[in-house]
A = this chain, B = another copy of it.
Amino acid sequence: MPKLKVVMPDDEPDNAGEPRAEELRLLEAMLFASAEPLDEASLAERLPQGVDVHAALLRLQEEYATRGVHLVRIGGKWTFRTASDLSWLLSKETVETRKLSRAAIETLAIIAYHQPVTRAEIEEIRGVTTSKGSVDVLLETGWIRPRGRRKSPGRPVTYGTSEAFLSHFGLDAVGDLPGLEELKGSGLLDGRLPPGFSVPMPSDDPALHDDEDPLEPGDLDLGLAPPPERTGEE
């Protein structure tokens, strides 16, 4: 198989001349089969006396440079690795449909109607401590987003819904969410409500409210994969 060398265009017209050195075969077999990267000393041990292991490795590395597998040196030891531009080949992405938990749906509903709203406010409305998990799951869905920080002690993050929320639930605007009378009319709310009970008129206007500060640069990252300290912050 003479056309092995695609590597160096002009550098080395070696196809014709010298045959592929046996030590390259030996090296590639050892490196392929070994369960760990190998250092040059242990490779040299198995090669015929007098072989310049380092030079042979460099040559092998060059041979593989344009291939789907590269010869790389890691911590001074050599090993074959899939070419980094092909890493996508080695992952399988699947979509997995999951149902939101009841707590997450309630939290989402409260965010939708009461936005911008902080976690403490959600808890007050729900009357239960909202687990951090619910908010995280909702952030993962992309249906809610951190909007800003409330101008109040602790400066808690305020949440609101995103465009993805509207599109998932087929809403033209959050203002289309049914109000008190509609909820009553559809039987979702019954009559036994205390006087003064109201359902807010939701708005997802991205403009910050008077009592909101903008998020700081780091906040968005935190919001999407928050480290545990954040809980304490709020």
Interface residues of A (CB under 8 A from B): 1, 3-6, 9-10, 12-16, 19-20, 24-30, 32-34, 46, 62-63, 65-69, 80, 82-83, 86, 89-90, 92-93
Copies in the complex: 2
Chain B residues lying within 8 Å of A34, measured Cβ to Cβ, are 93
Expressed in whole angstroms, the minimum distance between the Cβ of A33 and any Cβ of chain B is 5
Q: For the complex, would chain A's binding face be called helix, strand, loop or mixed by DSSP majority?
A: mixed
Residue with the highest number of chain B CB atoms closer than 10 Å, among A16, A62, A86, A93: A86
| A25 / chain B contacts, CB cutoff of 8 Å | 66-68, 83, 86
Chain B residues contacting A63 (CB-CB under 8 Å) are 1, 3-4
Closest B-chain residue to A14, C-beta based? B6
CB distance from A233 to the nearest CB of B (A): 33
Complex Cα distance, B80 from A229, in Å, reads 44
Can you spell out 16 A-B residue pairs with CB atoms less than 8 angstroms apart? A1-B62, A1-B65, A3-B15, A6-B15, A6-B19, A25-B83, A26-B68, A28-B67, A29-B69, A29-B83, A30-B89, A32-B68, A32-B69, A32-B82, A33-B89, A33-B90
